[in-house]
Amino acid sequence: MKNCILLHIAIVWVLFFVVNPALSQEEVEIQVPEQAGEFSYQFIAPGRLLISVSDKEGKPLRGLTTEDFVFFRKGKQAKILGIETLASSKDVSLNIVLVVDNSFSMKQRRAVDWILGAMEHLYKVIRPIDNITIIVFNDDQTQAFGDKQLHVTVKQSNQPDELRAFLKKSFDRELTVKTVLYEGMLAGLDLIRQMPEDSHKFMVVFTDGEDINSAYPEADVLKAAEVISKLEAYAVDYMPGDRVDPFLKSFSEEHGGRTWKATTASELGPIFEAVSSKLLYRYVVDYQFLFPPAGSLAMGANAMRIEEITTIDSSPLLNYIYFAEGASAIDQRYVRFHEQGQTQSFSEEALRGTKKKYNNLLNIVGLRMRANPEATIKLVGCNANYGAEKGRKELSRARAEGVKAYLQYIWGIEPFRIAVEARNLPEVPSLGRSVEVREENQRVEILSEHDAILDVVRSTYVEIHSNVEDLIVKPMVTSEHGIVRWTVTLLGDDQPIFFQKGTGAPSAEMVLKDKALTPMALSQYAQLTAELEVEDFEGHVLKLRTYPMLVEFIQREAQRARNLGYRVQEKYALILFDFNSDKIKERNASVVAKIVARIRQFPAANVSIVGHTDNIGKDKYNIQLSERRASAVYDQITAALGEFSQATITHMGVGPFDPMYGNGLPENRALNRTVTVTLEYEQKE
């Protein structure tokens, strides 16, 4: 490396972090060649500087290479990725505004030809990507710049011939009597202020006399320049005498430039050659500080409580079988056996969840008909009475006969116990012309006067509940070079149980989901820990680890053995609210009576009553409907309990916003027209 001197430069650096991009000021040390007399820079982008280096005579240092620049930050040396001259750069443009004094004194001093010739040095360095603006004085007309009317004429172009012709005309027929230097500078600063904030702006001022005619003082010029970032200013003082104009000198130095003094016209050529070199002979330096990524990792919760809860599930029996448009065949979503022998092992108590029970509707009815030989049922076939189904009672009958055939031949139910009826729309139809409404009317209704046939389906089982709904990992990683890949590992008692990988920056909050991460699977561990490994584009690897999340598993049998209470949750659903109705059907009376009896048995229970609707209709109306449904159940329960009840009972309606099931199927929408009642209490045995 060549002999260097060390310059300490405070650079405002934009750091693009993976988390929370921030603007911060870092101390950067830059080594430049020892022979450098002047040094300046402009920040272009992260990892890129536009550098101007001149010798002690102010001439640009040419031929510098990557070895001539060394950058340090926090003791870490940057890698110089590349260097090129601005003249050869195809993506870094210059925005140059020249304020040129075209007052009549230039002609009196016989300097017009000299200045036109000197400007050729600038024309030679103009590239197609540059933006050049020349501003001259104008005695007769003004142009508006913001709230100011300024005596100037403006020409913008990157074509040397156009600029050359404009300036020649300005020094030929449009020489001015007045010198309005400050107005010219204000016009230039206004144009510069409209340029993109991150672009690189240069102002060059040439004058052969002090400002004596501007309508605005120099203070306005200084104020206008204060708000402009990335501005470099240069001046050529061609005023009589050896003294450099103090205003031009201070203005250019304040904005990172300099002022040249010309005492004779013959000096203008070399000075403008120097100005041109100063503007264009710069270096675009690309660099990179090789700092590895850093950060932290945390779990979304400090502890997890997993508990076995005894669930007593009393699910309603929706007594409708739905059919596709124009079809009489029973859909495959209904569970059916192929021979009578398969029915012997069927048990409705083994079914969990309302939907699974509904899908076994035919088998539940068959089992109950077999267990209650005196019971009879009526199958009412219906159609949508619209389009392809309009008036087709034979289709309705075929649907009902298909259901009867299954109960007769698979479950062995005597045919005289099964009556069949056909009609168009159901007696209580869903109203409307949408496809969803028509689907709900394409059905067979199973009716019976024997309570046991359509009674609720009860089952008792143990569910595993966790107070941590989602297993969340929260990475906070900073990387100057960007993350190329990452891996999250979940450990149970320090043994890996789950991996998740990805590319790019990891999310600030990551939800880990997998069959291996159910509450039951996690209950076997005393603690959970997460690890994160990230790799940046420079190959640096960062490994992070969370504090352990403690796992507490409360088992029902262990609580019973210790004579401690265990949690019980009873679920009841009062469905078969008719479409758009809040009236509780008579067949739900037994369910309400059961709920009341259980509350009396467990007076300290917490009782939650929640009304739901399907998604047909307007949300506001559905919320009100669900509230009416919940309120009707609440009123019925509290009236039966009387004023001495100790239970905590709450009720609310959520409309379609917390559906029990997706609204895509007609049975799901029917099951969503419900009120759920949940009892939670602690029981000892």
Q: What is the pLDDT of residues 105-125, one digit of tens each?
A: 999 999 999 999 999 998 988
- Select the CATH number that applies to the domain covering 565-683 from these four: 3.80.10.10, 3.30.1330.60, 1.25.40.340, 3.10.105.10: 3.30.1330.60
Residue 464 pLDDT grade (very low, low, confident, very high; cuts 50, 70, 90) = confident
Residue 515: pLDDT over 60: yes
Spatial separation of the C-alpha atoms in residues 418 and 450, rounded to whole Å: 13
Digit-coded pLDDT (tens) for 570-604: 888 775 566 666 677 676 777 888 888 888 888 88
Alpha carbon separation from 606 to 260, 312, 348, 563, 678 (Å, rounded):
88, 15, 28, 22, 8
Residue 69: pLDDT over 90: no
pLDDT of residue 566: 62
Q: Which superfamily, per CATH, for 317-455?
A: OmpA-like domain (3.30.1330.60)
Residue 3: pLDDT over 90: no
Which architecture characterizes domain 294-307+462-554 according to CATH?
Sandwich (2.60)
Are 317-455 and 565-683 equal in CATH topology? yes
Residues 542 and 533 sit within 8 Å (Cβ to Cβ): yes
Spatial separation of the C-alpha atoms in residues 354 and 356, rounded to whole Å: 6
Residue 213: pLDDT over 50: yes
Beta-strand ranges (E) seen in 109-255 are: 131-137, 143-145, 148-150, 152-157, 201-207, 231-237
Residue 10 pLDDT grade (very low, low, confident, very high; cuts 50, 70, 90) = very low
Digit-coded pLDDT (tens) for 615-661: 888 999 999 999 988 998 898 888 888 876 677 899 999 999 988 88
Q: Which of 37-51, 326-340, 635-649, 671-685 has the highest mean pLDDT?
A: 326-340
Residue 12: pLDDT over 90: no
Relative to beta strand 131-137, strand 152-157 is antiparallel
Q: Which backbone phi and psi does 301 adopt, to 5 degrees?
A: -145, 155
**In the chain, where are the structural domains located?**
4-88, 95-280, 294-307+462-554, 317-455, 565-683
Task: Count helices and strands (H / E) in the chain.
Answer: 17, 33
Digit-coded pLDDT (tens) for 240-262: 989 999 999 999 999 988 899 99
Secondary structure letter of residue 176 according to DSSP: B
pLDDT of residue 577: 63
Spatial separation of the C-alpha atoms in residues 485 and 532, rounded to whole Å: 11
pLDDT of residue 280: 78
What type of residue sits at position 295?
G
Residue 14: pLDDT over 50: no
- For the structural domain made of 95-280, what CATH number should be given? 3.40.50.410
Q: Left if phi > 0, otherwise alpha if psi is -120 to 50, otherwise beta: which for 563?
A: left
Spatial separation of the C-alpha atoms in residues 20 and 128, rounded to whole Å: 38
Residue 410: pLDDT over 80: yes
Residue 19 pLDDT grade (very low, low, confident, very high; cuts 50, 70, 90) = very low
Spatial separation of the C-alpha atoms in residues 468 and 292, rounded to whole Å: 34
Lowest pLDDT segment from 162-176, 331-345, 561-575: 561-575
DSSP H stretches of helix in 493-575 = 519-522, 556-561
Residue 164 pLDDT grade (very low, low, confident, very high; cuts 50, 70, 90) = very high
